[in-house]
Amino acid sequence: ELKVEQNPLFLSMQEGKNYTIYCNYSTTSDRLYWYRQDPGKSLESLFVLLSNGAVKQEGRLMASLDTKARLSTLHITAAVHDLSATYFCAVLTSGTYKYIFGTGTRLKVLA
């Protein structure tokens, strides 16, 4: 069965710093998604990556996908406190409509 692993699971960083969250998945998939979840809230879609080499950017967040390495990264540039949240990646299992989510990365940006 497809497994999706994120690391780190917890990340505490200073404002203004850069960091990368990694999402590895275990079997073939051509679609990967990133979501944000604030405490006690539901999930908000950030990025949809549909092909190998896809790169998308929104503000201080940039996501990329390498389907050959089965790896996606979410890069944070010059972090600000408002980015504190839990970030999930999700992969669509090939041949199905089943989305598998990672365990999430809890990000805390310190002022």
Both tokens of 106, joined, read: 């809890």
88 touching other proteins, by CB under 8 A: yes
Nearer to other proteins by C-beta: 1 or 111?
1
Instruction: Kindly indicate which of the ranges 12-20, 53-61, 62-70, 87-95 contains the residues binding other proteins, using the contact rule CB under 8 A.
Output: 87-95
**Residue 81 corresponds to which amino acid?**
H
- Contacting other proteins (CB under 8 A), which of 43, 62, 71, 80? 43
Subset of residues 12 to 31 that bind other proteins, contact rule: CB under 8 A: 31
- Contacting other proteins (CB under 8 A), which of 7, 84, 92, 108? 92
- Determine the number of helices (DSSP H) and then strands (DSSP E) in the chain: 0, 11
Nearer to other proteins by C-beta: 48 or 71?
48
Q: Quick one: residue 30, left, alpha or beta (phi over 0 = left, psi -120 to 50 = alpha)?
A: alpha
Quote the Cα angle for 49-100-7, to 5°.
Answer: 75
Query: Nearest distance from residue 101's CB to other proteins, in Å?
Result: 3
DSSP secondary structure letters along 36-73: EE-TTS-EEEEEEE-STT-EEEETTEEEEEETTTTEEE
Site residues, other proteins (CB under 8 A): 4, 31, 33, 41-45, 48, 50, 88, 90, 92, 96-104
